[in-house]
């Protein structure tokens, strides 16, 4: 009897878990990135990032052709000498892992610990600051009433999920970290569904986490 009871409890627990996962899948969209670049050297052996800097590769004419615009890029160097060039953080989130992100964050923040960067370098600095050190009092988060989210995407390699808005904003967030998102934004995220290259425990856990964030916000409103 005890053995049958234990099996019954176990089966019931598994059924409840399967039911919850089925509900979470309703908020998941599988969309493989056919243009994703695979870095086979990094997959074969992980080499840590040891340097970051910005470089100017030259200039190009602006629209009116009377002025020229600098072509700036970020460049990171790994311990084996391999370099990766990128303009914005989004383009490397599917290649970087958390160790890479931590390394670049530390390098950028160390460089600008006593000053705020200007121009091109401010873009990466701002993205990393929002990603690792979200400040609810920052005016960035106070503008959410004007955001219209058009995509919500998971980058499983780095453990980051990204929001893109109609206004051109790109917001990067660590999957395990809570951010000062407004209820309206969380509702938009769940309505759009999470875009992932595959169904994974990480994707389902992220959806569960965001649903919990929404429930907490709704509960706070009622109080």
- DSSP string covering 60-123, please? EE-TTSSSEEEEEEEEEEETTS-EEEESSGGGGTTT--HHHHHHHHHHHHHHTSSS---TTHHH
Could you tell me whether strands 49-61 and 68-78 are parallel, antiparallel, or unpaired per DSSP bridges? antiparallel
What pLDDT is attached to residue 46?
80
Kindly tell me if the per-residue pLDDT of 43 is higher than 60: no
For residues 59 and 127, membership in a common domain is answered with: yes
Last residue in a domain, options 99, 131, 163: 131
Rounded Cα distance, 184 and 218, in Å: 11
User: Average per-residue pLDDT in the chain?
Assistant: 87
Structure token digits, residue 172: 């990067």
Tell whether 170 is covered by a domain: yes
Mean pLDDT of 135-139: 88
What pLDDT is attached to residue 64?
61
Mean pLDDT of 137-142: 89
Domain that holds residue 211: 134-223
Instruction: Find tokens 């019954």 and name the residue.
Output: 8
What pLDDT is attached to residue 58?
74
What pLDDT is attached to residue 15?
63
Could you tell me whether strands 194-196 and 28-30 are parallel, antiparallel, or unpaired per DSSP bridges? parallel
Q: From the centroid of its chain, how far is CA 69?
A: 29
Q: Which among 86, 95, 77, 88 is positioned nearest to 36, based on CA atoms?
A: 95
Kindly tell me if the per-residue pLDDT of 195 is higher than 70: yes
Q: Measured between alpha carbons, how far apart are the two ends of the chain, in Å?
A: 46
For the chain, percent of residues with pLDDT exceeding 70: 82
What pLDDT is attached to residue 71?
84
Domain CATH number, residue 55: 3.30.390
Kindly tell me if the per-residue pLDDT of 7 is higher than 90: no
The count of domains in the chain is 2
Residue 14's pLDDT band, with cuts at 50, 70 and 90, is low
**pTM here?**
0.83
Contact (CB, 8 A) for 26 and 192: no
For residues 110 and 191, membership in a common domain is answered with: no
For residues 76 and 100, membership in a common domain is answered with: yes
For residues 159 and 117, membership in a common domain is answered with: no
Residues 6+ apart with CB under 8 A from 58: 70, 71
Rounded Cα distance, 127 and 136, in Å: 15
Range in 4-18, 113-127, 205-219 with the lowest mean pLDDT:
4-18
Mean pLDDT of 175-189: 96
Phi, psi for 100 (deg, rounded to 5): -60, -45
Contact (CB, 8 A) for 63 and 10: no
Tell whether 5 is covered by a domain: no
What pLDDT is attached to residue 33?
67
Handedness of CA 197, 202, 205, 210 (dihedral sign): negative
What pLDDT is attached to residue 65?
60
Contact (CB, 8 A) for 159 and 174: yes
What pLDDT is attached to residue 113?
87
For residues 138 and 120, membership in a common domain is answered with: no
For residues 76 and 104, membership in a common domain is answered with: yes
Rounded Cα distance, 167 and 161, in Å: 18
């Amino acid at each position: 009897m005890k053995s049958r009871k234990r099996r019954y409890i176990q089966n019931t627990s598994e059924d409840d878990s399967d039911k919850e996962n089925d509900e979470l899948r309703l908020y998941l969209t599988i969309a493989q990135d056919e243009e994703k670049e695979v870095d086979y050297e990094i997959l074969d052996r992980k080499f840590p990032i040891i340097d970051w800097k910005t470089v100017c590769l030259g200039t190009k004419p602006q629209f009116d052709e009377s002025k020229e615009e600098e072509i700036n890029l970020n460049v990171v160097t790994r311990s084996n000498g391999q370099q990766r060039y990128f303009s914005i953080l989004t383009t490397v989130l599917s290649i970087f892992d958390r160790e890479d992100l931590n390394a670049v964050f530390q390098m950028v923040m160390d460089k600008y610990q006593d000053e705020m960067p200007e121009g091109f370098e401010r873009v990466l600095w701002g993205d990393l600051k929002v990603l690792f050190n979200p400040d609810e009092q920052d005016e960035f988060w106070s503008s959410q009433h004007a955001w219209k989210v058009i995509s919500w995407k998971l980058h499983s390699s780095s453990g980051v999920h990204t929001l893109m808005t109609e206004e051109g904003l790109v917001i990067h967030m660590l999957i395990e970290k809570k951010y000062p998102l407004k209820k309206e934004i969380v509702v938009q995220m769940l309505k759009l569904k999470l875009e992932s290259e595959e169904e994974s425990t990480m994707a389902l856990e992220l959806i569960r986490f965001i649903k919990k964030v929404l429930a907490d916000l709704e509960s706070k409103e009622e109080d």
